[in-house]
Each structure stands twice: as C-alpha cells, then as structure tokens.
Amino acid sequence: MVGPIPEEERSAFNRKVVYGTTLLVGLSGGLITLQIETTAVQTAGAVVLGMLVGYPLAKYVVPTGPAPADRQRRRIERENPFADGGDGGEDDGTTAERDGRTDRSDR
C-alpha cells in the first residue's frame, strides 16, 4: 500500500511548481513582445515584469502548508474528547440534566 507523501517532498514539489509557473508567465510576456517590433531590452523588461507579476500569482494559486488529509486528521484528533481514553470517571447522567438537555424518550 502507498503511504502519504512526506511534508518535505510536498514542499519541494510545490516550490518547483511556483518557480515553473513564474517562469511560464515571464516567458509568455517576452513572447508577446516578439510579435511586435521591440528591442532586446524591451523584451527582457517584459520578461522581468512578467516574472514579477507571475511570482505572487503563483504563490496565490499553488497550495502551501500541510496536505488537506493531514489537516483534517489533525483537526479530528484535536476535537476528539475521547482520544486520551476518557477521564476514567463514572457517567451518572447528571451532565445532561445539569445542561438542560434531555433525551427524546424524556419528552
């Protein structure tokens, strides 16, 4: 069975996707300038400007942080009051009466 992807590998992949997307946006700006008569400096400027626009765009689009399954697993572990095996106390039913809650059978 295949296990989860390690966090380091996921971060490295996301970083490569961000850099690749930045490069793609920058080069597309340069290719657009080749359709009209521009100098090499103007084309290089368009590539640099495209990269300056592409990096924040890529950071916004590419997800960062833990995987969604890991986030859900951590949230469930945090919210589960019985994860530690309980408090070892006896349940005499007074909690529901004290909180004003009743069963359907009580109605």
Reported as a single tens digit per residue, the pLDDT across 22-55 is 999 999 999 999 899 899 999 999 999 999 999 9
Distance (Å, rounded) from C-alpha 88 to C-alpha 54? Answer: 56
pLDDT in tens, 3-26: 778 888 888 999 999 999 999 999
Predicted TM-score (pTM) above 0.75: no
